Amino acid sequence: MRNRPLRVVVTGTECTGKTTLTEELATHHGAPWSAEFAREYLDRKAAPLTEADVEPIARGQMAGEDAAIACARQLALHDTDLLSTSIYARHYYGACPTWIEEAARHRRADLYLLLRPDVPWVADGLQRDRPLEREELHDVFRRVLRESGSRVVEIGGGWEARRAAAQTAVDAALAERLSRDR
């Protein structure tokens, strides 16, 4: 029977390097990764997101994660997950559909790399309009992850420090999984 891969989610507030870090970790490990579906969805929609977009974004996020997991051997990396979808739904619209929050709990990853908002804000043309609220949202991410019982490593500092800390955390989780599976 095939063991399920270690699932690592790179998460946090806007403009903290999640996509770049996820791609770099995937390349380093030769592992599949799923992109943040909300980006793709927003590009296709070409209009501001509304509360009606939360459920299609959640479905697309799950499909991307599932595709990465299906072709993973030891490791699957995700640029955000349903937890992020839930947090942003509550932040922007005041609520999140119950099924998304339940699915987020059920699909919880093995490790979350929570990126601190201690890097400069970079506007990238997406619906990113709250640069002054990154600290507040970081605290929400930290609280929700803690309450869910998730394994979390906070990552901060400059790009090299982020990359090194993330790589160390993933390597440690993989080594732990390997020793446990023996």
Is the pLDDT at 162 greater than 60, yes or no? yes
* Contact (Cβ atoms closer than 8 angstroms) between residue 41 and residue 57: yes
Residues across the chain: 182
In the chain, domain spans: 6-181
User: Is residue 98 very low, low, confident or very high in pLDDT (cuts 50, 70, 90)?
Assistant: very high
Digit-coded pLDDT (tens) for 85-96: 999 999 999 999
Q: Provide the whole-model pTM.
A: 0.93
Q: Which fold has domain 6-181?
A: Rossmann fold (3.40.50)
111 Cβ contact partners less than 8 Å away, ≥ 6 residues apart: 6, 7, 8, 9, 151, 152, 153, 169, 170, 173
Digit-coded pLDDT (tens) for 49-58: 999 999 999 9
Digit-coded pLDDT (tens) for 111-158: 999 999 998 877 655 555 566 678 999 999 999 999 999 999 999 999
Specify the range with the lowest mean pLDDT, choosing from 6-15, 75-84, 113-122, 130-139.
Answer: 130-139
| Cα 35-133-110 angle, rounded to 5 deg | 40
Q: Distances from the Cα of 83 to the Cαs of 63, 79, 89, 171, in angstroms?
A: 15, 11, 10, 23
User: Is residue 1 very low, low, confident or very high in pLDDT (cuts 50, 70, 90)?
Assistant: very low
Question: Rounded to 10 degrees, what is the CA torsion of 33, 38, 39, 41?
Answer: 110
Specify the range with the lowest mean pLDDT, choosing from 45-54, 64-73, 77-86, 105-114.
Answer: 45-54
